[in-house]
Structure 1
Amino acid sequence: MLQDRKRAWRLAGWAAGMLICGSAHAQSQVTLFGLIDGGLLYTSKTLDATTGANAGKQFSMIDGGSSYSQFGILGTEDLGGGLQAKFKLESGISIANGALAHCDGNLFGCEAWIALDNRYGEVKAGLQFSPFFLALYASDPRNMSFFGSGGVNLVDNLLGTSIFSASSVSYTSPALWGLQASLLYSFGGKPGDFQAGRQYSASVKYEYGGLMVNAAIFDSNSGSANPTPTPIDFAAEGRTLGAAFKFGAVTVKASFVNYKVAGSFDNNVYGGGLSWYVTPALDLDGGVWVTSDRNHTANHSLLAALGASYFLSKRTTLYAQVASVDNHGAMNTGLSVNGALYGVSGNTVGATVGIRHSF
C-alpha cells in the first residue's frame, strides 16, 4: 500500500512537472526566419569606378533583386501582466557566394537587439533600424525595393547611415487616437571623443482609415569606436515628410526627403507612385523620384520604375522590374542597390527578373 502511494505521488509530481514545463514553453517562443532573393540584372550603361565614364552594358546575376537575402532568430517571452521580452538577430547573406552581405557587413549586422514591450510602449536596445528609415519605408510606393525605388536614393546618398543604428536605445509609443511616435539615441563614442558616431532619430505617424501621414528626422556625427565594413556613421542629416492613402486594392504614396552630408552635398528627393493588387496573386507598382542638389542645381536626376510581383504562394514570389534614370551634371543616381548603385551621366535603362522565397 505504501509503495503504491509513493508511486502515485511520483506520477502526480511528474505530471505536474510536465504541465509546468508545458506552460512555460507556451509562454516563450523562438522562431527561425529568413528570406532568399536572387535575380538577373541588365543595365544599358555601367559606371567605371576608376574613370567615372560609361563602361558599357552589363548582364549579371545579383543577390537581392528586390530585397536582401537574410536569416535570423526572433524570440518572445510572456512575462505576465501584459509585459513581453523580445529579441531579434538578423544577418544579411549573399546567395551568389554564401558570404555575409548587405546591412553593415557584420554577422547579425542587420538587427541585433533586445526589447521590453507592454501597453505603455516598447523600449529596445542594440543594433536596430532608425525611425527615419522606417518612415521612409512606409511612404515609398515600391516598399524600398533594391531596384528602382526610394531605397536606391537612400543608399546612393548615405550608404548604411540612417538605416542601421548601432549601440542605440529607442522608445516607440503605443498608437493613441491614430498617433504614434518613436525616439532613438545611438551612443557612439570612442576614447577622448564621446560624440564620435553619435546619432539620434525621431518620427511621428498618424493613421486613420486608409490615410497615413508621417514625418521623421535623423542626425549623426562621423566616426565611432567600432567601424563596420559598410559605413553607417557618416556626418549626415535626413528629413522627411510622407503620406499614403489606401482605397480598395490601390495604395498611393508620396514623400519629400532631404539628405545632407557635411562638406559634400545637400540633396532634395521628391517621390511618389502607387501599387495596385490587380488580383490577390498579382501586384503592380510604380514610382518616380526627382533628385536635386540644393548647392548646385545643375546636378539633378529623374528615376522612374515599374514592377510586377506574382505570388505563387504565401512564401514564394516571381518578380520583374524595369527602370530608367536620367542624370545631369555631377549627379550619379543608379538603378539598383546591388550591381548598379551609382550611374553615369545621361540616360540609363535597366531591368531585373527574379524569385523571392521567405520562411
Structure 2
Amino acid sequence: MKKHILSLALLSSCATSAFAQSSVTLYGVVDASIVYTSNQKGHSAWETVSGNESGSRWGMLGSEDLGGGSKAIFRLENGFNLFSGKLAQGGREFGRQAYVGMSNKDLGTVTLGRQYNAEQDYLAPIQIGYSLTAYSLHPYDTDALNSTFRTNNMAKYVSPTVAGLQVTTTYAFSNSTDFAGNRSWSVGAKYAHGPLSAAAAYVMLDHPGSDTAGAVASDNYYPSSFIHNVIRQQIWGAGTTYTIGNATVGLLYTNTVFSLTGGTERFQNIDGGLRYQVTPAVTATVEETYTLVGSTASAPRSSHYWQTNAGVQYFLSKSTDVYLNGIYQRASGVVAFITSATAASSNQSQVVAVAGIRHKF
C-alpha cells in the first residue's frame, strides 16, 4: 500500500513538473555613440550619447506554460544611460516596460502594467528611418514613435494573428476619482503577407502630464518649454512597407493634434524611405521626411521642416554592429531643431552626424 502511495506521489510530481514549464530570459542592448551637431544655439558641439540606434537597456522576459495553449507571461525592462550609469525614463527602475499577463494561442494576450500603445507598437517599425537613430525621427517626437512618453496603468489586448492580420487595443486608467482625467486609450491593426506590411493606429490622451499617478505621468511627457496646458492629444497614422529583393521601400503618415486651453497645435509628418541590403553584413538607408505644423494657439501660424536621414550599418556579427548616420534639417518659419539634439539651432538649418557601436545580448 505504501509503495502504491509513493508511486502515485512521484507520478503526480512529474506530471506537475511537465505541466508547468517555466522559463526566464535575461536580455539587453548596450549602445554608445559620438555625435557632432553643427549648430546648438549658435555653436557646434561634440557629445557622447547612450542609446542612439537602440535605447540601452536590460530586461527579463518570463513565461510559464499552464497547458491548453495558455501561458502566464511577464516582462521587466530597464533603461539606462551607458555613459553615466543613471536610470533613464525619469529614474524609473523598469521605465521601458513592466507588465504581467496571460497569453493563449487561440484567444490572444492580455497584459497589465507600463506598456507601449498601439501606435508605438505598429507604426514605429513602418518608418524606414526608425532603424537608424533617434535623431532621424520626427521633430519634437509629437507622434511618440521615439517613446517620449510611455503609458502607465495600462490594460492591453493583442489578438492572435489570423490570415496575416493582428489587432491591438489598450486602455490606461487615470487612477483617480476623476475617471476621465489623465487617461489614455488606443487601437491599431497590422497586416503582413509576403513582401507587404501595413499598419494603422489611433491614440487618445486625456489631460496627459497633469499629474504623476495617471496614464501619462508629468515627469514622462513633453517638456513645458515645448508645449503645456494640454487638454487632449490625439495621434493617428498609417503606413506600409514593401520588399523587392534586397530593397525595402516604405511610406508613413502621422497626424498629431494637441488641444490646448488657447487653441490647437497640429503636426503632420510624411515619410518616404528606402533600406537596401548591400551585402549580408551591410545595410544602407535613406529617408526624406516632411513635417507641416499649423497652430491656432501661437505664432507662427504655420511652419514646416524638411529632413534627410541617411545611414550605414555594418554587422560584425548577429549581436554587434557599428553604424554611421547623417541627418540634415531645413526649417521654414522657425529655427531648426533635430529630434534628440541637445538644443535648437540658431538659424533654419542643423546637421547631426553620428558614429556608434551597438551590442545585443
- Which of 15, 20, 32 is the aligned partner of 1:38? 32
Residues 160-191 of structure 1: per-residue CA shift (max 9 Å, x gap): 87851110111111122222111111112424
Structure 1 residues 225-264: Cα deviation after superposition (integer angstroms, max 9, x where no partner): 5235322795311010101111222111111111122225
Contact 1:130 1:201 in 2 (8 A): yes
Contact 1:301 1:333 in 2 (8 A): no
Quick one: distance in 1 between partners of 2:42 and 2:323?
Answer: 27
Amino acid at match of 2:94: F
Q: Unpaired segments of 5 or more residues in structure 1? A: 47-53
Partner of 1:302: 306
Could you say if the C-alpha distance between residues 244 and 163 of structure 1 is closer, same or farther in structure 2, counting changes exceeding 3 Å? Answer: farther
- How big is the shift at 1:280? 1.3
Which 10-residue stretch deviates more, 152-161 or 349-358?
A: 152-161
Could you say which residue in structure 2 is the equivalent of 1:49?
none
Please, which runs of 5 or more residues in structure 2 have no aligned partner?
223-227
Give the Cα–Cα distance (whole angstroms) in 1 for the partners of residues 141 and 132 of structure 2.
12
For 1:270, the equivalent position in structure 2 comes to: 270
SS at match of 1:138: helix
Distance in 2, matches of 1:174 and 1:154, equals 34
CA gap 1:104/1:243 in 2 versus in 1, 3 angstroms: farther
The alignment partner of 1:175 has SS state of coil
Partners of 1:163 and 1:116 lie apart in 2 by 25
State the distance in 2 between where 1:344 and 1:219 align.
34
1:327 and 1:221 map into 2 onto residues whose CA distance is 30
- Paired with 2:221 and 2:184, the residues of 1 have a C-alpha distance of 14
Q: CA deviation at 1:212?
A: 1.4
Among candidates 319, 325, 330, match of residue 326 of structure 1: 330
Q: CA deviation at 1:294?
A: 2.7
CA distance, structure 2, for counterparts of residue 15 and residue 143 of structure 1: 53
| Structure 2 residue 195 is matched with structure 1 residue 205 | no
Q: CA deviation at 1:42?
A: 0.1
Q: 2:247 aligned with 1:250, yes or no?
A: yes
- Please tell me whether the aligned partners of residues 257 and 266 of structure 2 are also in contact (alpha carbons under 8 angstroms): yes
What residue in structure 2 maps to residue 348 of structure 1? Answer: 350
The count of corresponding residues between Structure 1 and Structure 2 is 340
Paired amino acid for 1:177: A
- Overall identity of the aligned pairs, in %: 27
CA distance in 2, matches of 1:160, 1:195: 26
Following TM superposition, by how much is the alpha carbon of 1:15 offset from its aligned partner in structure 2, in angstroms? Answer: 7.8
2:132 corresponds to 1:135:
no
Aligned pair in 2 of structure 1 residues 303, 297: CA closer, same or farther (>3 Å)? farther
Change (3 A) 1:131 1:154: farther
User: In 2, are the aligned partners of 1:185 and 1:199 still within 8 Å (CA)?
Assistant: yes
Tell me which residue corresponds to 1:84: 71
SS at match of 2:357: strand
Relative to structure 1, the CA distance from residue 307 to residue 293 in structure 2 (aligned partners, 3 Å threshold; closer, same or farther) is same
The answer to whether 1:358 aligns with 2:355 is no
Deviation at 1:224, TM superposition (A): 3.8
Q: Deviations over 1:277-300 (max 9, x none)?
A: 111111111111111113356411
How far 1:330 sits from its partner (Å)? 2.7
Tell me the TM-score normalized by structure 2. 0.85
Per the alignment, residue 141 of structure 2 pairs with 155
Counterpart for residue 170 of structure 2: 184
TM-fit CA distance, 1:138:
2.3
**Aligned equivalents of 1:317 and 1:157: distance in 2?**
28
Is the 8 Å Cα contact of residues 141 and 148 (structure 2) preserved in structure 1?
no
Of 195, 211, 233, the residue aligned with 2:180 is 195
Instruction: Tell me what 2:18 maps to.
Output: 23
Q: CA RMSD in A?
A: 2.8
Cα shift at 1:345: 3.4
Superposition deviation, residue 149 in structure 1? 2.4
Residue equivalent to 1:281 = 281
Sort the Cα spacing of 1:283 and 1:161 in 2 relative to 1 into closer, same or farther, 3 A: closer
Q: Which residue of 1 aligns with 2:58?
A: 71
Distance 1:188-1:287 versus aligned 2 partners, 3 A rule: same
> Match for residue 96 of structure 2?
110
Alpha carbons 2:124, 2:145 under 8 Å: kept: no
TM-score by structure 1 length?
0.86
Q: Residue 68 of structure 1: SS of its match in structure 2? A: coil
Residue 19 (structure 1) shift: 5.0
Deviates more, 1:223-232 or 1:168-177: 223-232
CA distance in 1, matches of 2:352, 2:53: 14
Mapped contact 2:19–2:67 kept (Cα < 8 A): no
Secondary structure of 1:100's aligned partner? coil
Runs of 4+ in 1 over 4 A off after TM superposition: 12-22, 156-163, 341-344
In 2: Cα distance, 1:61 partner to 1:163 partner:
23
